[in-house]
Structure 1
Amino acid sequence: MCGIAGIFHPETPKPVDPSRIAAMIAAQAHRGPDGEGIWTAPGVGLGHRRLSIIDLDGSPQPMQAGALTITYNGEIYNFAELRTELERKGARFVTEGDTEVLLHGWRAWGPALLDRLNGMFAFALHDADQGTLFLARDRMGVKPLHYVELSDGSLAFASELKGLLAHPLLRRVPDVTAVEDFLAYGYVPDDACLVAGVRKLPAGHFLHVQRWQGVPRPRRWWSLSFADRAGGSAKALGEELLARMRDGVRSRMVADVPLGAFLSGGVDSSAVVALMAEASKAAVKTCTIGFDEAGHDERAHAALVAQRFATDHHAQVVRPDDFALIDTLVHHFDEPFADGSALATYQVAALARKSVTVALSGDGADEMLAGYRRYRFQAAEERVRGMLPDRWRRAAFGTLGRYYPKADWAPRPLRAKATLLALGTDGDEAYARAVGVTSPELRAQLLSAEARRVLGGHRAEDRYVAAMRAAPARDALDRAQYADMMIWLPGDILTKVDRTSMAVGLEAREPLLDHRLVEFCATLPAGMRLHGGEGKWLMKRSLERYLPKEILYRPKMGFVTPISAWFRGALASEADGLARSRTLVESGWLDMAQVARLADAHRSGRADHGRTLWQLLMLERSAKRLFG
């Protein structure tokens, strides 16, 4: 795992100052503590920070092979097979790692190389003979890549935004549409950036820049389809699912450094550990963090799995209110990021790094096999929509939803406002609201009149609605999962894992996001993903030979962060201070009187605005760091 950066002049081969490349990779030194490299030629410069995982003493980067030079972040899990194929074609290798496979693969197949890769990656490849720069990002968006066109005509790129911010020509101007997006979701999606002009290469896309032809739009090279359905019995499909999970895990266990796994005691991480133990001759190293709070601590479940598979288990109790980490997270995420589980993810990554350099995680299973509770709610609401005429349903439930009180204080069965509003609209719109943090109505109150004018009708939910309506899908569950795979997964989950693991020099691998496994899961009948209200049904059934039912069928917990309680306790002064924040006042984005009313209503217990206050706090800290 590494950090990359570079500069390319598409119009004319101007010299590239090596000191600029040095500054861009120095800003990302945490991504590669084991070494660095800089290479420049007329019109181009590439930089690299290395975290050594495979071929520890070889494979320095940027790496050259004739006219080709590459800087690369990631792992190609099938590099050995590709190397054998390329050797049959006449390629001669001088290193033992996967980087050189990309160079020879490009020479043999050009952009079609991407279709052959099984891995997580973001790389930049310069072809001096063709005068081109080729940027590519993996299918799921596990590895990040940011780029920007600068005032001198150059194209600059870096793994993280901070790498671009190290370039003196990048103007730090905020993009208000990204503020709207962040307030809606709690993260800035992959098609947006808080710094105007900066773009993120979308997952499954490449950018092929030809000198003297400007910078084109990215091109999609991979997409996911839910349009087809696999045939066969549940038993047969379950066996195939398990085989593909096994392949995903085993392919990600190749490393020349200590390797282990995150173990929460949930289904996904437990499944990964079970399959690792099956494939490993030595005890698997596992890491768990716990909290001294009833209902929030999963150490006992993790210990049960660790004992079952005789792992070398490490557990540590951490403080869920370690507020000193807030500024650490702000530094590593660059843009505001308000997923409260980032605190715990950082802590478990730091624990893992004490004993391993590579850790496998269970991320991705909820998205590909309908594990989130919101899928169950969406399915139930769709059944109701299907029973009632649209006109009557919209009128009745829409009216009830508008007038039903927002009873944050009440028992959950009485908090019906969101459900009534959802039933009063169509399924795509309802799901777009369900995945959000701060509702469109509350955002309209929080944003200033000037911000709303600048937005010009831009609404964060529209990207979800558009993705669901364009999804290659058969039913509502397909559409919801597709949108989550395209938007939520790269924007929230994978960003969180990448930044927190890289912050401590740890490589995280996601075996359940092996693209062959993901593509297979998209073909499973909806009833084998979500069955009788049970998400990940086929996966759980297939794992019964490995894991006890108390692990497979217990309620989903996840990393719970008591944010609402914080803003009535230790962070109460921070909530009050938001309304007086010089950074937010000078930004002009928010109605500060409304921010004050929001904080007061939460602190008094009249409403629960904890997640929105957390968003505002992260927005304030990030904006201060980015824009001064």
Structure 2
Amino acid sequence: MCGITGTSWTTRDKNISPSVLKRMTDVISHRGPDDSGGYHSDLTAKSFLFSDENTLSDFKPTSEIGAALGHRRLSIIDLGTGHQPLSNEDGSIWIAFNGEIYNYQELRKELMQQGHQFKTESDTEVIVHLYEEQGTACVERLRGMFALAIWDERRQRLFLARDRIGQKPLFYREQAGSLSFASELKSLLQMPDASRTVDPRAIDLFLAYQYVPHPWSILKGYQKLPPAHRAIYEQGQLRIERYWTPPYQNPESNPEFPFQTPQQWSEALRDRLTESVKIRMRSDVPLGAFLSGGIDSTIIAGLMQSMSDRPVHTFSIGFPVKQFDERTYAREAAKKLGTDHHEYVVEPEALEMLPRLAWHYDEPFADSSAIPTMYLSQVTRQEVTVALSGDGGDELFAGYDRYKAVALSQWFDRLPTVIKKTMTASIWQKLPASVEQKSFRRRVKRFLAGLAVPPERRYLKWVGIFDTERRLEMYSSEFREQLGNFDTDEFLLDAYQLCPDRDFVTRTTAADVLSYLPCDILTKVDIASMAHSLECRSPFLDHHVAELAAAMPLNLKMNKGRGKQILTDTFSDLLPESIQTRKKMGFGVPLNNWFRNELKPLLFDVLLDQRAIDRQIFNPAMVEQLISEHLNLQWDHSARLWSLLVLEMWFQTFIDPASLPDHFPESVLT
């Protein structure tokens, strides 16, 4: 697991020096603390260590077309010889790679039979030789998580690619005469001509989704390569194309899935997920598993233990607030599976964590579960370097409670118009608001409030933070003018088009696989784990497993209102009875309590600070009203207040300073 960065230029004035490349690489050193190196097409010794002062100081750009690649390494496979950037035999193809290729041993054998010679045992070198054979189509053979950059000197082509589901991030910036890329946005901001102009549309998207979705970035001129896409930059022209689509549409005509009975689907699921876990246990360093006590993480830990000759290290964290504490279930799972369980109790220090989140996430990111994920990654890294997780199980197998609401709303849509108007126009408004984050009344009120809009837009109203009406009320008139007719819903509406002929619940899970999973869940886990130099692997996200789930009939996933039914049935031997029947808890923190206690001063000191007001994004009176309603127990605005706080902290970290530090600034809040 690593961090990559670099640039390709087609005009000499866009050529960057090795010292600039070093700055771009150093700022993501947390992603790879074990090694660092660079490649520069203008140097005689094209591959170099950043510790070589002569290389960094004595440099004169010469080429009109060329490339520079930077790499930070977290050593997992081939600890001794896997230094990057890495080349083929004659040095005509160079790669900087972030991720893991789980089928690299099988590909290596195939390539050796074709005459390729290897100088390392790494998965990275396999990609180089596979590119020699198959060009940009090589990514279609890769099984794993990855973001990669290949410089093809003969063709003078820069090739970028990102894995199918979106586990590994890749930002890029296209200018006249160059294309730059990096694992994290802060790396691109180290370039001498880096602009930091905020995109108003990105703020609007963030407040709708709690993240900035691909291909947008919070800053104008910067973008994210979407999952399952590759980019080819050649002769100053950038071409981006999709290379994989999950097969949700027309599964009955797909010869890969000839299954007729629930048992056949179950057997196929057991085989594919078991094999996915097996190949993810390939490692030259210690590995373990996250274990929350939920269905997904327990299955993954159980499969690991079944293939291990010693107790697997498992990790969970707990909180003093009972409704957010899953340790009891994690203990039950560990006892049944026979793992070596590590349990930690943390009292999240939001004041300490806020600036750390702002710096590491690069963009405003308001999923508050990033806090416990950060803590879990920190304590896990004390024991192991690699951890397997259950991420993806909810989206692929209909595990979220909101999918029950989606199913119920289909019944509502069939009701007579008069009844629907009564329910949407009066009943929900008469329900008293709840100030409890996880209360049933709050969920019912939110459900009824969304029934008045079309199904696709209704879903965003349920899962979003600020709906369109509330955002427009919050914005200043100047900011509304900048947005024009921009429609944040279009991102989710596009995702819904993946399988228009399937039932609406399946369409919704598919939309989440394309949007919420990569933009929220996987972004959260990648940044939190890499902040602590921990590699996180997700067996559910193997594309063989994802393809099976995409083709699976809904009645196998959701049965009598219960999601993930086929997971529970297929892996019942690994799941304690209490975990099979428990309600989904989620991985969160008690924001509503925080804002009425330890975070209360921040609401006034940060959100109503003159710096925030001067940005002219929000109407200060509306911000003050949100704060007042929350503190006076009129409404639970905790998620909205957290989003505003995260946004302002991002501004203070990335926009207000004249320059960016090359490591986490400990004094952001002082």
2:282 is aligned to 254
2:660 is aligned to none
Find out whether 1:436 has 2:464 as its counterpart: yes
1:174 is aligned to 198
- Deviation per CA, 1:24-66: give whole Å up to 9, x if none: 0111000000010011014210000000000001121011112
- Deviation per CA, 1:290-331: give whole Å up to 9, x if none: 112223221121111212222121111101344311111111
Is the deviation greater in 25-34 or in 300-309? Answer: 300-309
Aligned mates of 1:214, 1:6 — CA distance in 2: 17
Find out whether 1:215 has 2:238 as its counterpart: yes
- Deviation per CA, 1:243-286: give whole Å up to 9, x if none: 11101111100000000011111111110000000111121011
SS of 1:7's partner is strand
SS of 2:323's partner is coil
Find out whether 1:21 has 2:27 as its counterpart: no
Q: For 1:247, give the aligned amino acid.
A: E
Q: For 2:270, give the aligned amino acid.
A: L
2:568 is aligned to 540
Find out whether 1:197 has 2:224 as its counterpart: no
SS of 1:5's partner is strand
Q: Please report how far the alpha carbon of residue 397 of structure 1 lies from its aligned counterpart in structure 2 after TM superposition.
A: 4.3
2:518 is aligned to 490
2:124 aligns with one of 58, 83, 99:
99
1:370 is aligned to 398
Q: For 2:149, give the aligned amino acid.
A: A
Find out whether 1:148 has 2:176 as its counterpart: no
Asked whether the equivalents of residues 583 and 623 of structure 1 are also in contact (C-alpha less than 8 Å), the reply is no
Aligned mates of 1:136, 1:575 — CA distance in 2: 41
**Percentage of matched positions with identical amino acids:** 39
Q: Please report how far the alpha carbon of residue 423 of structure 1 lies from its aligned counterpart in structure 2 after TM superposition.
A: 2.4
Aligned mates of 2:451, 2:321 — CA distance in 1: 36
Asked whether the equivalents of residues 8 and 133 of structure 1 are also in contact (C-alpha less than 8 Å), the reply is yes
SS of 1:295's partner is helix
2:8 is aligned to 8
SS of 1:474's partner is coil
SS of 2:282's partner is coil
2:298 is aligned to 270
Asked whether the equivalents of residues 211 and 519 of structure 2 are also in contact (C-alpha less than 8 Å), the reply is yes
Aligned mates of 2:296, 2:120 — CA distance in 1: 35
SS of 2:356's partner is helix
Q: Please report how far the alpha carbon of residue 585 of structure 1 lies from its aligned counterpart in structure 2 after TM superposition.
A: 1.7
2:545 aligns with one of 489, 500, 517:
517
1:30 is aligned to 30
Q: For 1:234, give the aligned amino acid.
A: P
Asked whether the equivalents of residues 433 and 441 of structure 2 are also in contact (C-alpha less than 8 Å), the reply is no
Please, which runs of 5 or more residues in structure 2 have no aligned partner? 42-62, 657-670
Aligned mates of 1:186, 1:509 — CA distance in 2: 24
Find out whether 1:462 has 2:485 as its counterpart: no
- Deviation per CA, 1:469-512: give whole Å up to 9, x if none: 45355110121011111110111000000000000110001111
Aligned mates of 1:414, 1:124 — CA distance in 2: 46
Q: For 2:308, give the aligned amino acid.
A: S
Asked whether the equivalents of residues 434 and 441 of structure 2 are also in contact (C-alpha less than 8 Å), the reply is no
Aligned mates of 2:499, 2:332 — CA distance in 1: 40
Asked whether the equivalents of residues 10 and 214 of structure 1 are also in contact (C-alpha less than 8 Å), the reply is no
* C-alpha distance 473-136 of structure 1, shift in aligned 2 (>3 A): farther
* C-alpha distance 394-449 of structure 1, shift in aligned 2 (>3 A): farther
Asked whether the equivalents of residues 388 and 536 of structure 2 are also in contact (C-alpha less than 8 Å), the reply is yes
Aligned mates of 2:606, 2:30 — CA distance in 1: 31
Structure 1: which 4+ aligned runs deviate by more than 6 Å?
A: none
2:247 is aligned to 225
Q: For 2:645, give the aligned amino acid.
A: L
Asked whether the equivalents of residues 607 and 645 of structure 2 are also in contact (C-alpha less than 8 Å), the reply is no
Aligned mates of 2:428, 2:580 — CA distance in 1: 39
- Deviation per CA, 1:141-171: give whole Å up to 9, x if none: 1000000124x63211110011011112111
Q: For 1:32, give the aligned amino acid.
A: G
Asked whether the equivalents of residues 179 and 233 of structure 2 are also in contact (C-alpha less than 8 Å), the reply is no
- Deviation per CA, 1:425-480: give whole Å up to 9, x if none: 22111112122122222211111111111111213223212321453551101210
Asked whether the equivalents of residues 530 and 537 of structure 1 are also in contact (C-alpha less than 8 Å), the reply is yes
2:181 is aligned to 157
1:82 aligns with one of 104, 107, 112:
107
Aligned mates of 1:137, 1:317 — CA distance in 2: 36
SS of 2:383's partner is coil
Aligned mates of 1:401, 1:12 — CA distance in 2: 66
- Please report the RMSD computed on the Cα atoms of aligned residues, expressed in angstroms: 1.8
Aligned mates of 1:345, 1:204 — CA distance in 2: 25
Aligned mates of 2:290, 2:596 — CA distance in 1: 32
Find out whether 1:284 has 2:306 as its counterpart: no
Is the deviation greater in 280-289 or in 426-435? Answer: 426-435
Q: Please report how far the alpha carbon of residue 111 of structure 1 lies from its aligned counterpart in structure 2 after TM superposition.
A: 1.6
SS of 2:351's partner is coil
TM-score (norm 2): 0.90
Find out whether 1:116 has 2:116 as its counterpart: no
1:69 is aligned to 94
2:56 is aligned to none
Aligned mates of 1:135, 1:40 — CA distance in 2: 17
2:380 aligns with one of 345, 352, 357:
352
1:135 is aligned to 160
Aligned mates of 1:466, 1:147 — CA distance in 2: 22
Aligned mates of 1:137, 1:473 — CA distance in 2: 28
1:478 is aligned to 506
1:388 aligns with one of 407, 415, 420:
415
SS of 1:324's partner is helix
Asked whether the equivalents of residues 11 and 214 of structure 1 are also in contact (C-alpha less than 8 Å), the reply is no
Aligned mates of 1:21, 1:414 — CA distance in 2: 50
Q: For 1:225, give the aligned amino acid.
A: P
Q: For 1:602, give the aligned amino acid.
A: H
- Deviation per CA, 1:107-152: give whole Å up to 9, x if none: 00112211111000000001011110000000011000000124x6
- Deviation per CA, 1:396-432: give whole Å up to 9, x if none: 4443378556623497347644333332222111112
After TM superposition, list the pairs within 5 Å mapping 1:287-436 onto structure 2. 287-385=315-413, 387-389=414-416, 392=418, 395-400=421-426, 404=430, 407-409=433-435, 412-413=440-441, 416-436=444-464
- Deviation per CA, 1:350-399: give whole Å up to 9, x if none: 111011000001000000000000001101111221x225x556644443
Please, which runs of 5 or more residues in structure 1 have no aligned partner? none
SS of 1:23's partner is helix
* C-alpha distance 403-271 of structure 1, shift in aligned 2 (>3 A): closer
Q: Please report how far the alpha carbon of residue 580 of structure 1 lies from its aligned counterpart in structure 2 after TM superposition.
A: 2.3
Q: Please report how far the alpha carbon of residue 579 of structure 1 lies from its aligned counterpart in structure 2 after TM superposition.
A: 4.0
After TM superposition, list the pairs within 5 Å mapping 1:557-568 onto structure 2. 557-568=585-596
Is the deviation greater in 497-506 or in 162-171? Answer: 162-171
* C-alpha distance 445-544 of structure 1, shift in aligned 2 (>3 A): same
Aligned mates of 1:469, 1:138 — CA distance in 2: 21
2:55 is aligned to none
TM-score (norm 1): 0.96
Q: For 2:172, give the aligned amino acid.
A: Y
2:54 is aligned to none
2:577 aligns with one of 519, 537, 549:
549
Aligned mates of 2:498, 2:147 — CA distance in 1: 26
